[in-house]
Amino acid sequence: MFGLPKSTEINKLLPKKAVFYKFKPNPADRKLFDEQISRLAIVAEISPQTVSVPASADVSAVYIILVTLKTDECDKKNIVLLSKLIDQRMVFALQYEDTMRLAVYRAERVLMSERKKFDEWKLNLRGLDLGVVWENIIAEIGGIDLTSGKGLDDTIVANERKEKLTKQIAALEKKAMNERQPRRKWELANEVKKLRAKLEEIVNG
């Protein structure tokens, strides 16, 4: 599974009732969780006992949690809930019918991969210890380039800011295009110019 060695495979069911009983999410979170998630199971453990990679100072194991969905989408709130309730390094494999997306929680943000067929997923274990392996898995899922020399968390935050600014710029440009009053059109163009400067600063920073 996921192109990982056979030694990593496990099959440990995580009953939803047990999760609710132990962690007691509020009614709204529980309802959302129940509406979207059918089943939870730990399906793989990446650790020094299962692969020939030593632990790092802060990462002793990475677990893959298979999340069987009732709907084709999984609200990010559910990923945040599971991440905060279970204190482990976890990759969430979100399966709906024969497709799957991978998700992780890092830097107080949920990163999600593209959707692929279930059997097309391959996770690469790259790194001299589990800390580096874990960061490379996150980068792979989030489509993050780590070659710039910036830290992973800083890159995640910067990417989110770039995405927000890009959307703002596109919305303002559309608004400016449809604006008939010259003065307002000029004001919108100035706003776009300022946002583009911010975006360039982030890209070059």
Q: Residue 201 CB: number of other CB atoms within 10 A?
A: 11
Q: Which amino acid is at 21?
A: Y
Task: For residue range 103-137, list pLDDT tens digits in order.
Answer: 999 999 999 999 999 889 999 899 999 999 999 99
Q: Where are the domains of the chain?
A: 6-142, 152-204
Task: Give the pTM.
Answer: 0.83
Task: For residue range 137-154, list pLDDT tens digits in order.
Answer: 999 999 998 877 778 998
